[in-house]
């Protein structure tokens, strides 16, 4: 095996990095995950994830974790309603959608991000994940890398895999290509104990998802574990707006005033989102890597997930792409088809970029569609077509 007696460092303990660690561990390889969080519960995990048969679920199956996933996913959380700004429902699959249909092309079971992380963490040997390791820099040495962390410690690895997200600090050691702003910004909020604090929204959501479309702005809501609701206000904006201090993300009165102005044609009931959300609301400008990015492969460094191909979330491919990256990279590194680590990485990166480019193009197109004047009926047509297959 090409990686026998090699030390492997994965920078970042998100779903992609942890999936890769599990797959490499199953091959008996020496792998460490360096994660900047101080512990598994250091911060609230994001919105639920819908996993796809050919990518996220395929990776979990290869990792021997599909049974754990099935025991912990959220039945019914993939049910959707599409409505307008006045809460009129134009599409719903709540009545006819099966709660469990593994193996079906369009079944995308939901799982809370934190729960998925725990499944992956619990599958790893003690000491594989090293907490409190914020990446600082690294230097090539002896064919590998000396990695320096903010706490002053240094670790050596023969192979480094960057899984540290959209703002990857490792990526520049491989390529100087940077993402571009898509023109869309999302404000992310979270409501705890929604049945108590936001009963109207909680009843409307009914344990599933809502996509509500106005003229050019959206509200996207989803059920989370622990009776929580996550939501996004999504709209087109200049990048300068996010940092303009026009909105104080920690000031509820200011947020409500902004929402009343930006979403002025929306029913007043939607204000419950911002009235009951935890603060601060988190602004998320949506970026995308160039669709034609290329770089020269290295034998001691590669990328996966958002570090490699950050893209808009409007095709539901982000975590699925990262987990598929992990699956394909582990298979390339294990395959006897390739004579060297360099050749294995080069093949992985070529296929990964091609696959990611197609997904990013779909995400960009969907983002434009979802923020256009005809968004409501376009999305109804899209989901109706899938439902009827």
CATH of residue 266: 3.30.9.30
pLDDT of residue 4: 87
Q: Is residue 211 part of a domain?
A: yes
pLDDT of residue 354: 97
pLDDT of residue 98: 60
- Buried b vs exposed e over 364-380: b needs ≥16 C-beta within 10 Å? bebbbebbeeebbeebb
Cα–Cα–Cα angle for 8, 12, 18, rounded to 5 degrees: 70
Q: Do 267 and 213 belong to one domain?
A: yes
pLDDT of residue 246: 86
Give the predicted TM-score (pTM) of the model. Answer: 0.92
**Residue 113 is assigned to a ligand binding site:** yes
Domain boundary among 229, 259, 288: 288
pLDDT of residue 202: 95
What is the tens place of the pLDDT at every residue in 148-192?
999 999 999 999 999 999 999 999 999 999 999 999 999 999 999
pLDDT of residue 38: 84
Q: Do 153 and 24 belong to one domain?
A: yes
Say which residues have a Cβ less than 8 Å from residue 296's Cβ, sequence separation at least 6: none
The domain in which residue 239 lies consists of 180-288
* 3-class DSSP state of 378: helix
pLDDT of residue 74: 87
pLDDT of residue 105: 67
Q: Residues of the chain whose pLDDT is less than 50?
A: 388-389
Q: Do 174 and 184 belong to one domain?
A: no
Q: Do 203 and 341 belong to one domain?
A: no
Q: Do 283 and 268 belong to one domain?
A: yes
Q: Is residue 282 part of a domain?
A: yes
Q: Do 264 and 306 belong to one domain?
A: no
Q: Do 243 and 128 belong to one domain?
A: no
Q: Is residue 107 part of a domain?
A: no
**Residue 50 is assigned to a ligand binding site:** yes
Q: Do 280 and 313 belong to one domain?
A: no
Q: Do 131 and 267 belong to one domain?
A: no
Q: Is residue 69 part of a domain?
A: yes
Domain boundary among 288, 308, 323: 288
Residue linked to tokens 């992990």: 326
Q: Is residue 379 part of a domain?
A: no
pLDDT of residue 1: 66
Domain boundary among 240, 271, 288: 288
Q: Is residue 206 part of a domain?
A: yes
Beta pairing class for 7-11 and 159-162: parallel
Say which residues have a Cβ less than 8 Å from residue 237's Cβ, sequence separation at least 6: 183, 184, 185
Q: Is residue 380 part of a domain?
A: no
Check which CATH number belongs to the domain holding 70 and give it: 3.50.50.60
Q: Do 274 and 228 belong to one domain?
A: yes
* Structural domain count, the chain: 2
Q: Do 68 and 140 belong to one domain?
A: yes
pLDDT of residue 383: 78
Q: Do 150 and 212 belong to one domain?
A: no
Q: Is residue 140 part of a domain?
A: yes
């Amino acid at each position: 095996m090409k990686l026998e007696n090699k030390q492997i460092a994965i920078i970042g303990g998100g779903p992609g990095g942890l999936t890769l660690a599990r797959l490499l561990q199953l091959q008996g390889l020496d792998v460490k995950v360096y994660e900047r969080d101080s512990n598994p519960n250091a911060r609230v995990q994001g919105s639920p994830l819908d996993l796809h048969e050919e990518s996220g679920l395929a990776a979990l199956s290869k990792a021997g974790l599909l049974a754990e996933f099935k025991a912990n996913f959220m039945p019914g959380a993939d049910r959707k309603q599409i409505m307008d700004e006045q809460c009129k429902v134009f599409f719903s699959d709540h009545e006819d959608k099966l709660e469990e249909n593994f193996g079906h092309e369009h079944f995308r079971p939901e799982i809370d991000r934190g729960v998925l992380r725990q499944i992956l963490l619990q599958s790893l040997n003690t000491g594989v994940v090293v907490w409190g390791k914020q990446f600082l820099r690294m230097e090539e040495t002896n064919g590998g890398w000396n990695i320096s962390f903010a706490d002053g410690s240094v670790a050596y690895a023969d192979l480094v895999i960057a899984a540290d997200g959209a703002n990857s600090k490792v990526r520049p050691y491989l390529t100087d290509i940077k993402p571009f702003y898509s023109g869309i910004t999302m404000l992310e909020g979270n409501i705890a104990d929604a049945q108590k604090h936001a009963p109207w929204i909680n009843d409307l959501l009914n344990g599933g998802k809502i996509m509500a479309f106005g003229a050019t702005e959206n509200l996207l809501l989803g059920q989370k574990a622990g009776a929580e609701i996550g939501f996004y206000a999504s709209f087109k904006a200049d990048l300068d707006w996010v940092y303009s201090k026009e909105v104080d993300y920690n000031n509820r009165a200011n947020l409500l005033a902004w929402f009343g102005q930006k979403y002025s044609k929306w029913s007043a009931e939607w204000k419950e989102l911002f009235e009951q959300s935890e603060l601060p609301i988190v602004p998320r400008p949506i970026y995308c890597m160039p669709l034609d990015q290329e770089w020269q492969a290295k034998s001691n460094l590669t990328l996966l997930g958002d570090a490699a191909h950050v893209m808009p979330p409007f095709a539901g491919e982000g975590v699925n792409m990262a987990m598929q990256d992990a699956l394909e990279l582990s298979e390339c590194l294990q395959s006897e088809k390739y004579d060297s680590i360099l050749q294995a990485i080069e093949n992985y990166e070529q296929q990964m970029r091609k696959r990611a480019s197609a997904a990013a193009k779909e995400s960009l197109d969907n983002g434009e569609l979802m923020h256009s004047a005809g968004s409501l009926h376009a999305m109804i047509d899209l989901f109706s077509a899938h439902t009827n297959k």
